[in-house]
Structure 1
Amino acid sequence: MGIVERQSIKGTLVSYVGAFIGFLTTFLIITEFLTPKDIGLTRNIVEAATLISSFALLGLNSSAFRFYPYFQNGDREASPDGVRDNGYFYYMMTVASVGGILMSLLMLLAKGPFVAMFSRNSPELVDFYYAIIPLFVFMLFWLVFELYATQLMRIAIPKLIREVVLRLLLIGVYLLYAFRFVSLELFISIFIAAYALCMLLMLGYIRRIGRVNLRRNRGFLTPELKRNFLRYTLFYVVASIGSKLSSRLDLFMVSSLDEGGLDSGGIFSIAFYMVAVVEIPSRSLLSVSTPLMAEAMKRNDLAKADELFKRVSLHQLLSGGLIFLLIWFNIDSIFAILPNGHLYAAGKYVVFFLGMAKMIEILLNYGNPIVSCSKYYHWNLYYTFLVTILAVLTNLWLIPILGINGAAIATLITTFLSYGVQQFMIGRKLHASPFSPALFRLVALFALLFGLNALIPHVTSPWIDIPLRSIPIGLGALAAVYALRISPEFGRAVDKCLRRR
């Protein structure tokens, strides 16, 4: 078994363990021991630091993969003068350091607008404004170390640190605060220290596997390579601004514009976590199928691209849609068993609208690699600005009127319009779409499931109501998918199992 297979298997196992720990942390510990305001505060700080660190990378997360082969010298060890891969790690650290300094200066200059934005409804976030700076710096260099480990074909330990170690550390931090062993100020400091420790663990790991240092081959970086790197990086820095902003605007704008402030931000965050489960199967499908699309577009085989689009979108909607329906059909029972669920039940329709937005996304997001692998890849730049403008305008319009539900509706509108425009462009220019007879049969089945759910009586105990509702609907849905031959792949798998019996 090769290194890629070994690392992939280990990384997958770590991801499942991390997902289980994340579930325990979010839905048992955090909701039990932290108030919605505490959750809103920590999530805003983390999301702000994550956003700023992604800007500070200056496109390194894309250019690192593109340009590493140019620097690679083919040796597993450093050269006799101590330089490995012509000093690629030095250049990565240089880019990140420049980005970190620029974003730190920007943070110092931006405090006034930040205070004006959050002081009314979320003054606690203003009090911890400067805590964002060290946190984003730790996140920034942690990302750099992870990127370098990935170049060295090592993903299992980095995933272990991010998915398991960090979450276990944060559980300890949450419990220290929950039982009042530390004040809020010390809680935030220890919270940030957990990220610093993980960054140092990541540095120690790459030093062990890569013997990293800041030495470089001064004559290696040619003017042409510099120009190509800067041109590529500039494009992705500009393109990433819109996509990163739009993905986190809703939480920030809820905390800023809604009268509930950080309490509303905390409720919105819990609802967002519920919906995030929907896209887990989609991530795996995309990672497996994107290279197939890249190969088809490389050959300019638009018929194959259209076939792939239809198959992948169908299965993404099938898997994600069934998960969303089961969540929505049981939403009241979920809040009933959630610790302090009465506090978070205000996010019920946030789950619905975000879930509908996620359905649109997983139906149409396979169009992203189609565009990226085509001659129209530069259109992504216009697309991300469209998404950002839509997100800002719809949130500004709806949050003051409808609160957290307005933010969720804004996300739904933005998703529908932005993906609709992208699909229109793909259909006109590349003649590909996700729509097929099987897809329409699936949508009809989902509508039928809504009716079936209405016929099942509610039981007072949520522990009984959830299986009473989920088992017949889930089994009935799978039987219908097989009987209607919605998914040929699923049908063949069932036929194979039946023949074995």
Structure 2
Amino acid sequence: MGIVLKQSFQNLITTYLGFGLGAVNTLFLYVNFMSDTYYGLVSFILSTAFILVPFLAFGVQNTMVKFYSSFEGEDQDRFLSWMLLLPLFLIIPLTGITYFLHQQIADFLSSKNEIVAGYVWYIFIIALSSAYFEIFFSWSKVQLKSTFGNFLKEVFHRLGVTLLLVLLAISAIDVDTFIILTVVIYIVRMIIMMVYAFKQRRPLITFSRKRANTTSKLDVQRTSIIKYSTLIIIAGSVATLLIDIDKFMIGKYVAIENVAYYAVAIYIATVIGVPSRAMHQITYPMVAEMLNKKQWSEMSVLYKKSSLSLLVISGLLFLLIVCNIKSLYLLVGPEYATGLYVVLFISASKLLDNCLGINNAIIFNSDYYRIVLVIGVVAVIVAIILNMILIPALGINGAGVATLIATVGYSVAKLLVVQSKFKMQPFSKNSLKIFGLIIGVFCLCYFWDFNLNPVVAIALKGSLITIGYLLISYVFKLSMEINIAMDKVLNIVKKRD
């Protein structure tokens, strides 16, 4: 767990730095210096672009992680070279479709909000840049170098947007220029990631075999790789659609400013998922190697440790968010408070997903990913149907309910697949204790508010929750990994004293 903890901690720092910038952007700069309509438009553009990313990437970012460790020498170089070119089989025809059917696509996207019609190419370029960014990021991850890529993934574009919003606030640029420069940021991020990835391992574009009349391992596995990449497109699409389809459908059914209100709520809740994202950057390639080498006992230990650690951390974040949400919305603005229940719904789903530890890494690096793909497609269909029914009736709260039902069902299904196929599950007696602690603190603190300035109230209530929660977790040793990390912090403090 040494390299996992080290890079997970580094990734956690950069990820939270990114989320801190995102919080400034989402909760202050956007809401104060951009109209609800244009904020909704930006959110719609980005969400629609992210829906396209799995298709344009052709699943290569996951395929690279799964298969890389199974090759050696020249086969690794040939494999990596092939991974760079494979997405073009979808990118080229989709570019042609966008060019020739531009007007039809624009009409479809702008059926409820005409302002969307002029931004079709912006959506496509952001999607293309993000797709190849993920590919180059995976190129680095298989070399067990994830920290810089995680900085680019979490911090770089948010810092760029912060600067653009400041320029917008002082009227140095207008909204149209802001959107154009946002597209540029995603392009630049992709280029920087490419340069860094190629420094870790230079691409060698060669497709010749080692010797005449011989068949390399890559040639033998080529069909399996293509099948996996094709199916992982569906997997990536499922994950992305469950995150972004709601914002897309809100823009299709109600006024686009509601996308802004929903985006703020989702962003607040998404903070709970940060520890999982940080850990997965390094555990994905490790789990792939364990599966390739059939190291079942090591994987089972990592499964339980990751679950407990993530549950303790995400449980604290869950409590800090939901117990302070009313005060937080006093700062953001009353019109955005319509998303309060959305925060509660999505926070609960994120907490459940985090407590599954490396569940996703096990499934999508194994031969059983096909089962989950079918389940995922069903979950997306359920989400779409529920959104179609609930958004017109309940607005953004309807989208929150639809996402909660679909994502919880999907998470439970993935848990059952790992239990059935690998005879592993992430929970223990300590898991029940942590859930009990979370429920107890929630019941005690959610309905208890300080009649103070919102900032002071959040700081005071948050401090009390954090101290009490971590103290109980430490004393009862709910996660040894967390206790070890806390001991290290305490030792550093003692040495300074």
Same fold per superposition (TM over 0.5)? yes
Report the Cα offset of residue 165 of structure 1: 4.1
SS of the equivalent of 2:86 reads helix
Match of 1:79 in 2: none
Task: Measure the CA separation in 2 of the matches of 1:207 and 1:295.
Answer: 26
The structure-2 alpha-carbon separation of the partners of 1:459 and 1:393, relative to structure 1 and needing over 3 Å to count, comes to: same
8 Å CA contact retained: 2:272, 2:317:
yes
8 Å CA contact retained: 1:360, 1:415:
no
Counterpart among 98, 102, 106 of residue 107 in structure 1? 98
8 Å CA contact retained: 1:71, 1:86:
no
8 Å CA contact retained: 2:11, 2:150:
yes
CA offset digits 1:434-486 (Å, max 9, x no partner):
44433333333333223322674521311221233223333222333345554
Match of 1:313 in 2: 307
Counterpart among 181, 190, 193 of residue 190 in structure 1? 181
1:95 aligns with 2:86: yes
CA offset digits 1:91-128 (Å, max 9, x no partner):
34432333221222343466577556543432212231
8 Å CA contact retained: 1:4, 1:153:
no
Match of 2:248 in 1: 252
Task: Measure the CA separation in 1 of the matches of 2:16 and 2:250.
Answer: 31
Task: Measure the CA separation in 1 of the matches of 2:69 and 2:287.
Answer: 22
Report the Cα offset of residue 21 of structure 1: 3.2
2:329 corresponds to which letter in structure 1?
F
Task: Measure the CA separation in 1 of the matches of 2:350 and 2:153.
Answer: 25
Match of 2:440 in 1: 448
Match of 1:81 in 2: none
Counterpart among 344, 349, 352 of residue 360 in structure 1? 352
Identity %: 24
8 Å CA contact retained: 1:456, 1:469:
no
Task: Measure the CA separation in 1 of the matches of 2:300 and 2:68.
Answer: 32
The structure-2 alpha-carbon separation of the partners of 1:333 and 1:92, relative to structure 1 and needing over 3 Å to count, comes to: same
1:478 corresponds to which letter in structure 2?
L
1:134 aligns with 2:125: yes
Match of 2:43 in 1: 43
1:469 aligns with 2:457: no
1:379 aligns with 2:375: no
Task: Measure the CA separation in 2 of the matches of 1:204 and 1:366.
Answer: 29
Task: Measure the CA separation in 2 of the matches of 1:86 and 1:306.
Answer: 33
Task: Measure the CA separation in 1 of the matches of 2:420 and 2:84.
Answer: 43
CA offset digits 1:477-498 (Å, max 9, x no partner):
2333345554455567778969
Match of 1:336 in 2: 330
The structure-2 alpha-carbon separation of the partners of 1:107 and 1:451, relative to structure 1 and needing over 3 Å to count, comes to: same
1:224 corresponds to which letter in structure 2?
V
Task: Measure the CA separation in 2 of the matches of 1:183 and 1:299.
Answer: 56
Larger relative CO (CA 8 A, sep 6+): 1 or 2? 2
Report the Cα offset of residue 296 of structure 1: 8.2
Task: Measure the CA separation in 1 of the matches of 2:247 and 2:418.
Answer: 30
1:267 aligns with 2:261: yes
Task: Measure the CA separation in 2 of the matches of 1:7 and 1:369.
Answer: 17
Task: Measure the CA separation in 2 of the matches of 1:5 and 1:442.
Answer: 21
The structure-2 alpha-carbon separation of the partners of 1:230 and 1:297, relative to structure 1 and needing over 3 Å to count, comes to: closer
1:423 corresponds to which letter in structure 2?
L
CA offset digits 1:126-146 (Å, max 9, x no partner):
231232233333334444444
SS of the equivalent of 1:128 reads helix
2:444 corresponds to which letter in structure 1?
L
Report the Cα offset of residue 412 of structure 1: 0.9
Structure 1 gaps of 5+ residues are 76-83
Match of 2:206 in 1: 216
2:57 corresponds to which letter in structure 1?
L
CA offset digits 1:175-208 (Å, max 9, x no partner):
3334444443333222212223333444555676
8 Å CA contact retained: 1:60, 1:95:
yes
Report the Cα offset of residue 404 of structure 1: 0.6
The structure-2 alpha-carbon separation of the partners of 1:408 and 1:468, relative to structure 1 and needing over 3 Å to count, comes to: same
Aligned residues: 484
Task: Measure the CA separation in 2 of the matches of 1:68 and 1:296.
Answer: 12
Match of 1:327 in 2: 321
| 1:139-288 equivalence runs, <5 A | 139-150=130-141, 155=146, 157-203=148-194, 205=196, 215-219=205-209, 224=220, 226-257=222-253, 259=254, 261-286=255-280
2:462 corresponds to which letter in structure 1?
S
2:269 corresponds to which letter in structure 1?
V
2:183 corresponds to which letter in structure 1?
I
Report the Cα offset of residue 288 of structure 1: 6.3
Structure 2 gaps of 5+ residues are none
Report the Cα offset of residue 161 of structure 1: 4.4
8 Å CA contact retained: 1:206, 1:212:
no
The structure-2 alpha-carbon separation of the partners of 1:74 and 1:122, relative to structure 1 and needing over 3 Å to count, comes to: same
8 Å CA contact retained: 1:305, 1:432:
no
Bigger shift: residues 328-337 or 110-119 = 110-119
8 Å CA contact retained: 1:250, 1:407:
yes
SS of the equivalent of 1:447 reads helix
CA offset digits 1:309-354 (Å, max 9, x no partner):
554433322221221111111112112233xx22321111111111
Task: Measure the CA separation in 1 of the matches of 2:144 and 2:461.
Answer: 45
Task: Measure the CA separation in 2 of the matches of 1:235 and 1:246.
Answer: 17
SS of the equivalent of 2:87 reads helix
The structure-2 alpha-carbon separation of the partners of 1:466 and 1:494, relative to structure 1 and needing over 3 Å to count, comes to: same
For normalisation by structure 2, the TM-score amounts to: 0.81
Task: Measure the CA separation in 1 of the matches of 2:5 and 2:316.
Answer: 30
Bigger shift: residues 281-290 or 245-254 = 281-290
Task: Measure the CA separation in 2 of the matches of 1:229 and 1:464.
Answer: 55
SS of the equivalent of 1:364 reads coil
